[in-house]
Structure 1
Amino acid sequence: MSGPLPSPSPSAWPPGGAAAPAGAAAPWLSVLIPVHNVKDYLRECLDSVLAQADAGVEVLMVDDCSTDGSDDLVRTLVTEHAAGPVTVRGLFHAQNQGLSGARNTMLQAARGDYVWFVDSDDYLMPGAIPRLRQVVRGHAPALVLCDFFMLRERMKLKHRLRGELHRRTFFGPERQVIRDPSLLMRGLFEAGQMHSWSKIARRSVWGEQLRFPVGRYFEDMATTPFLALLADSVWYEPEVWVAYRQRAGSILATPNVTKAEHLAHALANLRDAAAGTPLDDETRFAWAHFAARNFIGASRMADKALPDGCAEAVAKFRDAFEEASPIPLRDLDLAYKRRGWFVRAMRLRHWLRRADCEGSTSSGRSAI
């Protein structure tokens, strides 16, 4: 993943804290917490980690130019836990780089064999880290997947009925090592939960090349499928390890054309990355269906932002969809019909017709 030119190196707290202590053994896990204007939640997040972490865990926070005092809170928390068994470090960006930039900074500074991104307004459930250590010690998978629940100020009956108390992130084999790339990719796409905080990976899988796209929304969707392709062994633990907080002002709650464009292109280059990976037909369908959902979601987002002038954007999103899908449009349409997914087929056709209104057919394209 490429991005803008690197920003100035972050400063550390305590001074020199970015470097490994002399003679210190490498931790087995790095918990990476990006921080930006989360003063009301950060302590709860860190406490949820430290309450269950052993001496082989390090915690790294990076403040991305907060304006609400979160930066001072990071310094306070690091100082408070300086004598504890878990190493807690703080880094500070000189320029705001967004969530992707903060995560990339922590990836470069992490020392753990495994890395776990935890958003600073979320928290870990009790027992998550000890269970992860059991999995790592017993099976050493390259990637571990876990489940989550939606944390709301008021959990209503409709939220419970939607299954928000336990959201699965994978549809496939449980509590066993998976080495079949088709099983892995199909399970990911069918679940549709691409967020990074439910994926714990060996740092070596990220390597020096795979990074979050700076300056773009839907950064998790643009990295998780690539991470899965690089992992040669995966473990899915069907337990709730993360409490995911729903806050006002989410990406989907504030649509604009830029966000729609980033969603439409989130799977760019995935076909090239997967070119040498044998994937069965069911996996290719699940991938194509996921790409179609992105196309429809992006088109709806653009329609809300520009209700009278979104056709040009939708036409571009169609092009991005066709480039991202591993199977042609006609094959996807036929697959929908074979499954009896007529409503999904109609919905896709609707937005494809919106794209055609901009003149896609005149350039040689034909609607399905």
Structure 2
Amino acid sequence: MSTAPAPWLSLLVPVYNVAEWLPACLDSIGSQDLRGVELLLLDDCATDASPALAQDWLQRHPELDARLLRHERNQGLSAARNHLLEAARGDYVWFLDSDDVLTPGAIASLRRTLDRQPVDLVLCDFAYLRAQPKLKHRLRGEQHVRTFAGPSNAPLTDTPGLLTGLLELGYLHSWSKVARRSLWSDDLRFPVGRTFEDMASTPDLAMRARSHIHVPEVWIGYRQRAGSILAGASLNKTDDMMRALHDLPQRLHPYSESEAGVRFAASHFAARSFIGAVRFASRQSDAERMGHYCQAFLAALCMPLDDLMAQYLRRGWWWRALRLRHWLSRSAATPRPG
């Protein structure tokens, strides 16, 4: 039996049909300080050269604690992440999509952060990676996207503040969160067969964290490309997005009842999701779906609709209030009284 110490970090990378981008992802990992880091790749039955590229890369780096796992049949991203979680041995786990990259020094910065304050959950920032970035992308601040609307560089034990800071900005990606593996107990997994799996799991993960810290550094390069899971909209995907809001007030209990900041942030997050979904359904002329999305949104609200509108106006968010009213009207819904 091996007496080697358990890794302090497991880096978990699902792989599926990303041959064009996988080498950059793996090279970005290989450039990090990987002492005490376990790298797990999982081939989800890719039909391109991705598995061969991954195997070749691992053979050229025999010094690493790294393995390539395989599914016998394609099961999707959620199942791949769940499998990787079950195989991980690290004290912390960090998901990385196989078309994205780690920025130079990201793991070393994470290690320094945890050496100073061994919190349960670490939040980082990201940058968009585009083949041809334009001026409008730079003006939007895509070179450094902040994922948390709250204090940075200080360990906190404020769960309501964590939920508020995450939901207000809406960046719930798993790859911008590094969590103690123990938070991912058997009753918390990604929903198999669905997209927007991060929306469905990240709030529950956050509520399990007794401590957290936001590090305002770009640790992830998030690639924008045609053919990615979220690049091509579809009604099935918008169904999944709205399904991820199911029982949101109950899932956020008791904070959804006792904390005004959580109520607003969660309701605002639900509104943004609803507008995105109903706009797409409108372009498909699917009035029935528009109505379903409206009802799902109203059920996901953590505060009366009129109070949400009042909060928008109080903050000077007139355009957001007008957009929400417009799409509620377009979906032919009658808002329930608050």
Q: SS of the residue aligned with 1:221? A: helix
Larger radius of gyration between Structure 1 and Structure 2: 1
| Partner Cα separation in structure 2 for residue 50 and residue 221 of structure 1 | 29
Residue pair 2:102, 2:221 contacting (<8 A) in 1 also? yes
Per the alignment, residue 14 of structure 1 pairs with: none
- Any stretches of 5+ residues in structure 2 without a counterpart? none
SS in 2 for 1:144: strand
Take 1:292 and 1:193, find their aligned partners in 2: how far apart are those partners?
A: 14
The one of 274, 286, 292 equivalent to 1:316 is: 292
SS of residue matched to 1:297: helix
1:189-214 CA distance string (max 9 Å, x none): 12221111110000001111111111
SS in 1 for 2:331: helix
C-alpha distance in structure 2 between counterparts of 1:163 and 1:280, whole Å? 31
Give per-residue Cα distances to partners, 1:292-318, cap 9 Å, x unaligned: 1111111011122x22xx221111112
Q: Which residue of 2 aligns with 1:8?
A: none
Query: What SS does structure 2 have at the residue aligned with 1:222?
Result: helix
Identify unmatched segments of 5+ residues in structure 1: 1-20
CA contact (8 A) 2:248 2:301 kept: no
Between the aligned residues of both structures, percent identity stands at: 52
Work out which of the residue numbers 185, 189, 193 in structure 1 matches 2:171.
193
- Which residue of structure 2 aligns with residue 6 of structure 1? none
Q: Contact 1:255/1:302 (CA < 8 Å) preserved in 2?
A: no
Tell me what 1:158 maps to: 136
Residue 191 of structure 2: aligned partner: 213
* 2:57 alignment counterpart: 77
> Where does residue 276 of structure 1 map in the other structure?
254
The 8 Å contact of residues 155 and 212 in structure 2, kept in 1 or not, is answered as yes
Distance 2:68 2:275 in 1: 40
Which residue of structure 2 aligns with residue 328 of structure 1? Answer: 304
Structure-2 change in CA distance of 1:45 and 1:251 (3 Å):
closer
Aligned position for 1:38: 18
Structure 1 residue aligned with 2:218? 240
Q: CA deviation at 1:109?
A: 0.2
Query: Is structure 2 residue 120 aligned with structure 1 residue 103?
Result: no
Aligned residue type for 1:45: C
CA RMSD of aligned residues (A): 1.7
Matches of 2:204 and 2:122 in 1, distance apart? 15
Query: Residues of 2 paired with 1:241 and 1:340: CA distance?
Result: 32
Q: Equivalent residue of 2:233, what SS?
A: coil
Letter in 2 for 1:339: R
CA distance in 2, matches of 1:92, 1:269: 34
In 2, the alpha carbon distance for the partners of 1:253 and 1:70 equals: 20
The answer to whether the aligner puts 1:170 opposite 2:148 as a matched pair is yes
For these two proteins, the number of residue pairs brought into alignment is 337
* Structure 2 SS opposite 1:32: strand
TM-score (norm: length of structure 1)? 0.87
Question: Is residue 136 of structure 1 aligned with residue 114 of structure 2?
Answer: yes
Displacement after TM superposition at 1:225 (Å): 1.3
User: 1: CA distance between counterparts of 2:229 and 2:9?
Assistant: 30
The corresponding residue for 2:30 is 50
Superposed CA offset, 1:230-271 (max 9, x none): 111011000011111110134554322111111112122332
